[in-house]
Structure 1
Amino acid sequence: MSDQPDKSFETLAIHAGQTADPVTGAVVPPIYQVSTYKQDGVGGLRGGYEYSRSGNPTRTALEENLAALEGGRRGLAFASGLAAEDCLLRTLLTPGDHVVIPNDAYGGTFRLFSKVAERWGVRWSVADTSDPAAVRAALCDRTKAVWVETPSNPLLGITDIAASAEVARAAGARLVVDNTFASPYLQQPLALGADVVVHSTTKYMGGHSDVVGGALVVSDPELGEELAFHQNSMGAVAGPMDAWLVLRGIKTLAVRMDRHCANAERVVEALTAHPEVAEVCYPGLPSHPGHETAAKQMRAFGGMVSFRVRGGEEAAVGVCDRTQLFTLGESLGGVESLIEHPGRMTHASAAGSPLEVPADLVRLSVGIESADDLLADLTAALG
């Protein structure tokens, strides 16, 4: 938990978990590129550190910062978002347990459930998490978690976090919210009743496409201790350099997100008016079915935009191939704009499943370049 609980988000992003180095006065936490630590006698640990898988000062600074930004009691940093998810599954679940997952979940999350967790006895079912009744219908007596992405990847679906928390709690299950698309600047699920927040810190938290990482944040100290035990036991921790890079990115998260959101709104306005675009998926549109919920639980509507192209799959692939400023690539949340075809790229693992995405769908991660330049590039690619 942050030692600066009354500070604004922007201030916490820069200062929580980060104090000047006591030896040199350096204002940025050092990269403790070290594997082990000198002990003052057997069991005499300096600052509680013995081995960097179990704890590293740079990672500690990031974990304290993450907890502060999400308003949680414990943050844990991992080598990737999927490493964080795997640790969470093995902490919450035992063979025979059941999880409800979204019908438009990230392809990697779906693969983790369908190809990995299922092999050790975890059962899962799919539900439209934007509909509390559909989630309730998917529950069973062994349901231990309800898994939510909001906004979702790649269709930008919106789930009411508070309503989902009530449904999960009534069933004795925990609510897990993947907050990657929103970031804690736009949305704080724990304050709305979620039990666990998941992040791929590779994305908006890092923000510069130069680091891979993941995170979990919880309010329950006991659950935090259980997760920390599994984090250490499984070992997929964030390295000190990766932790430092995410910390550096977080310092500008608020100002970057403001620009991401502003640019996305300009892009959405242009796409909705373009004759080659059949549909735009963006929660900031009043026509979006989750618009009112998003307006209630988010500060702004984010930098991710998806749209469907007239002409089907090949037309969508053609748009991805023709952009010059939007770089064709997977991932998202960096300062540069990216474009991808989810059906053939990030969500290929969901092909043929209930989570298969439309073949004519294009996903944009709108960066912080000049909005006019981004619009010119998209317009030219759409023809």
Structure 2
Amino acid sequence: MTADSQGFSTRAIHAGQPADPTTGAVVTPIYATSTYLQDGVGRMRGGYEYSRTKNPTRRALEECLAALEEGRHGFAFASGLAAEDTLLRAVCAPGDHVVIPDDAYGGTFRLFDKVASRWGLDYTPAKISDVAAVRAAVTPRTRIVWVETPTNPLLGIADIAALAQLAHDAGALLVVDNTFASPYLQQPLVLGADVVVHSTTKYLGGHSDVVGGALVVDDDSLADELAFHSNSMGAISGPFDAWLTLRGAKTLAVRMERHCDNAERIVEWLGGRDEISHILYPGLETHSGHEVAAKQMRRFGGMVSFRMRAGEEAAVAVCDRAELFTLGESLGGVESLIEHPGRMTHASAAGSPLEVPGDLVRLSVGIEDVEDLIADLARAFGG
């Protein structure tokens, strides 16, 4: 059986991870080394010379991530934003333009607005669930159409195949941040995207114990550019971080099923609360992106957002009163988290076109017993 014909969980456990040839260890070792013995000048063993350039533990993770996304080339970084920054430097030049989601992750917005703009990269926010709106935002200088799907934190859905066609017609690349869905629920490269971005800190790592990022691509020339910039910029994943992420990826499929099961039950419970004006979850048939999500996703994910009818202070109060739902930033771990995006993860977007509603609460639904999670939310709502 070839790797291409293997199922998702088989690839997660085995891709890039053969038994150690020296000892037979079934788990990839942590190669905590900076340099490597060479057998002569320019005669490297396996291409290894210095761990910024290449490290066996990181390489195992990169091969696994590429296999999970059904791509040919994977790159692991110190964080999701390190991956994004490296991609922008590799692909864009001063004077280029990028279309970004009008509800992008706050850190991504900050990267474009406060960092990339200083070296001459322009951007336009657009509603990525509306293909016509994205088309209207594209200019002759557009190098990238950048989407999240689902978006963070409003759970908007982008039609990946349609936007890939739009981007390619304009001579641009389609970049998809697949963090919320994970490669288990959605594989953008298969749908026509050029680059997949991950904060591997989230579902891929899955245990809130490591920070990392990744890029996955199919195109060889783009991979060469990313390899050059990854080595030149140096924001790579260390071997221990790579090992932790690789360990997390092995159980991604079973965890995602539980995340989805729990999220669906919580959405059903939230639907009976009068305090809520809107529930944002692509699994709801009333969600504007439901049909597209059903077409391109295996299931609808573990992220849920909702808006409080009584406004911002009511949203903050729910966050403060929750106990089992830990008040904290990040997402995608085995434990459930609750946050107020406007004052936490998306505070950097305050006063901008990407400012999120003050009455918004975001849940990262974990894999605890769902009855306990519902009871905790009931207490947070006041009964």
- Could you state the TM-score of these two structures normalised by the residue count of structure 1? 0.99
Give the % identical residues: 75
Counterpart residue number, 1:221: 220
Specify the code of the residue in structure 1 equivalent to 2:341.
P
Equivalences for residues 146-225 of structure 1 within 5 A: 146-225=145-224
What secondary structure sits across from 1:335 in the alignment?
coil
Give the deviation of 1:65 after TM superposition. 0.3
Distance 1:156 1:316 in 2: 17
What secondary structure, in the 3-state scheme, does the structure 2 residue paired with 1:343 have? helix
Supply the distance in 2 between the matched residues of 1:91 and 1:154 (Cα, whole angstroms): 27
**Equivalent residues of 1:3, 1:16 under 8 A apart:** no
Aligned match of 2:38: 39
Distance in 2 of aligned mates of 1:99 and 1:83: 18
Closer, same or farther: CA 210–3 of 1 in aligned 2, 3 Å: farther
The answer on 1:95 being equivalent to 2:94 is: yes
State the distance in 2 between where 1:22 and 1:14 align.
17
Query: What residue ranges of structure 1 are gaps of 5+ in the alignment?
Result: none
Secondary structure at the aligned position of 1:5 is classed as helix
Q: Aligned ranges for residues 266-281 of structure 1 at < 5 Å?
A: 266-281=265-280
Q: Secondary structure at the match of 1:198?
A: strand
1:260 deviation in Å?
0.1
Offset from partner CA, 1:199-219 (integer Å, 9 cap, x none): 000000000000000000001
TM-score, normalized by length of structure 2? 0.99
Deviation of 1:277 (Å): 1.1
Measured in 1, the distance between the counterparts of 2:22 and 2:169 equals 51
Alignment partners' CA distance in 2, 1:320 and 1:127? 29
Q: Say if 1:206 and 1:246, in contact at 8 Å, map to a contact too.
A: yes
> Could you say what secondary structure the match of 2:341 adopts?
coil
Give the superposition deviation at 1:222: 1.0
Q: Map 1:17-166 onto structure 2 (within 5 A).
A: 17-166=16-165
1:3 shift after superposition = 6.1
Letter in 1 for 2:28: P
Which amino acid in the other structure matches residue 164 of structure 2? A
C-alpha separation between the residues in 2 aligned to 1:196 and 1:46?
30
Number of residue pairs aligned between Structure 1 and Structure 2: 382
Q: C-alpha distance in 2, partners of 1:207/1:221? A: 30
Distance 1:130 1:49 in 2: 44
Structure 2: distance between partners of 1:12 and 1:103: 35
Match of 2:292? 293
**Secondary structure, counterpart of 2:376 in structure 1:** helix
After superposition, what is the alpha-carbon deviation per residue over 1:256-308, rounded to whole angstroms, capped at 9, x for unaligned?
A: 00000000000000111111111100000000000000000000000000000
Aligned to 1:374: 373
Deviation by residue 1:71-97 (Cα, 9 ceiling, x = unmatched) = 001000000000000000001100000
SS at match of 2:38: coil
Question: What secondary structure, in the 3-state scheme, does the structure 2 residue paired with 1:104 have?
Answer: coil
Q: In the aligned structure 1, how far is the partner of 2:207 from the partner of 2:105?
A: 21
| Equivalence map 1:276-355=2 (5 Å) | 276-355=275-354
Partner residue, 2:10: 11
Which residue in 2 is equivalent to 1:264? 263
Q: Is 1:363 aligned with 2:327?
A: no
**Displacement after TM superposition at 1:137 (Å):** 0.5
Rounded Cα–Cα distance in structure 2 between residues aligned with 1:38 and 1:169: 45
Report the aligned-residue RMSD: 0.8
Tell me, in whole angstroms, the C-alpha distance in 2 between the residues paired with 1:374 and 1:224. Answer: 43
Partner of 1:252: 251
